[in-house]
């Protein structure tokens, strides 16, 4: 009987021990599973953050290339922007910047087909006085400022005489001449680098004339108000006609610049005297202004001849 009781006690203790062990194992297993899920979720979150913030070498290369393309170190200063057109559009009304045809002059260098209509850019419209200032779209001919290298002002130079005589009578008929307004032009002095004044001479009465140095700094005329000899000013860039080239105007491939029609530009005279005697100011091929000036007379055997870009005031009544 005693043996049976002892056996029952041992069996009970054994069952209790097994039950406790199973409970501890289940608790530890659940705890470990929870920790595992927590660690896994943390790792996924960290991986997502890493993927979002990571920049690949290809992206870095593309960004660097973009920065270089947007900020090239050798880009020249540009004072205004070009207006690109395939060919001049002939305006039906007088609006600043528009192109109109008025008069005619040899341009294609084919003398057998007669003169071609002259395209003019409208620089300014004076509505109060019903008149407009026109500048030829192209350089039309090649002339010296004066046919001799002597002291002379705009009033007495041979270029002014040619514009108001030969060109005026060749380019315009009676109808156009009635519309052209004789204009009083001031010819201011120009100061040299050492403070000496080069006298511009008397005011002149002109039917046809060249723009002055100051005219090319007027925003009202569509030009930038500043001048940097190294800067590009597209609004001042001009190309010569085929006829003007045949007469000696030199085209220039300056910095690869071309006009709004894809043509090579050239230099052209202004009426203002330079900072030395026997020199006149002009416009560079890239549109900057040369205040120092160039010699009035350039011998035929020298290649760098300047062009003539006439200007006129017309009535728009």
pLDDT tens digits, one per residue of 93-104: 799 999 999 999
Model confidence at 51: pLDDT above 60: no
Model confidence at 260: pLDDT above 60: yes
Q: What is the pLDDT of residue 42?
A: 42
For residue 267, the 8-state DSSP code is: -
What share of the chain has pLDDT > 90, as a percent?
58
What share of the chain has pLDDT > 70, as a percent?
70
Q: What is the pLDDT of residue 20?
A: 44
Q: How many residues does the chain have?
A: 317
What's this model's pTM, rounded to 2 decimal places?
Answer: 0.73
Q: Look at 50 and 274; give whichever has higher pLDDT.
A: 274
The residue among 303, 254, 301, 285 whose CA lies nearest residue 139 is 285
What's the whole-number average pLDDT of the chain?
79
Check: CB of residue 257 under 8 Å from CB of residue 245.
Answer: no
Residue with tokens 């870095």: 60
pLDDT tens digits, one per residue of 33-44: 444 444 444 444
E-assigned strand segments in 171-267: 180-181, 183-185, 190-191, 197-198, 204-206
Name the CA radius of gyration of the chain, rounded.
41
Q: What is the pLDDT of residue 237?
A: 95
Q: What is the pLDDT of residue 193?
A: 75
Q: Give the helix ranges, DSSP H, for the chain.
A: 2-53, 57-70, 158-162, 168-171, 174-179, 242-246
The SS3 of residue 306 is coil
Q: Which of 10-14, 147-151, 208-212, 226-230 is modeled with the greatest confidence?
A: 208-212
136: phi then psi, degrees, rounded to nearest 5: -60, 135
Q: What is the pLDDT of residue 216?
A: 97
């Amino acid at each position: 009987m005693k043996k049976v009781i002892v056996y029952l006690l041992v069996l009970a203790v054994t069952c209790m021990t097994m039950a406790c062990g199973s409970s501890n194992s289940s608790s530890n297993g659940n705890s470990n599973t929870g920790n595992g899920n927590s660690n896994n979720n943390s790792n996924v979150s960290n991986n997502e953050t890493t993927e979002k913030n990571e920049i690949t070498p290809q992206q870095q290369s593309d960004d660097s290339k973009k920065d270089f393309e947007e900020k090239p170190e050798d880009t020249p200063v540009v004072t205004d922007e070009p207006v690109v057109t395939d060919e001049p559009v002939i305006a039906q009304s007088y609006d600043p910047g528009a192109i109109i045809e008025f008069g005619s002059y040899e341009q294609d260098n084919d003398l057998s087909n007669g003169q071609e209509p002259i395209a003019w850019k409208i620089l300014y419209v004076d509505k109060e006085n019903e008149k407009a200032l026109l500048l030829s779209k192209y350089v039309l001919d090649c002339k010296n400022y004066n046919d001799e290298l002597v002291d002379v002002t705009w009033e007495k130079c041979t270029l002014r005489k040619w514009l108001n005589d030969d060109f005026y009578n060749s380019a315009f008929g009676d109808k156009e001449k009635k519309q052209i307004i004789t204009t009083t032009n001031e010819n201011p002095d120009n100061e040299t680098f050492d403070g000496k004044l080069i006298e511009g001479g008397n005011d002149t009465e002109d039917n046809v004339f060249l723009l002055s140095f100051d005219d090319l700094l007027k925003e009202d005329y569509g030009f930038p108000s500043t001048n940097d000899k190294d800067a590009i000013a597209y609004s001042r860039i001009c190309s010569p006609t085929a006829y003007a080239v045949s007469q000696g105007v030199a085209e220039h491939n300056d910095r690869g610049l071309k006009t709004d029609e894809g043509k090579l530009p050239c230099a052209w005279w202004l009426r203002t005297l330079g900072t030395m005697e026997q020199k006149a100011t002009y416009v560079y091929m890239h549109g900057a202004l040369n205040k120092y000036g160039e010699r009035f007379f350039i011998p035929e055997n020298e290649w760098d001849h300047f062009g003539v870009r006439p200007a006129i005031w017309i009535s728009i009544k």
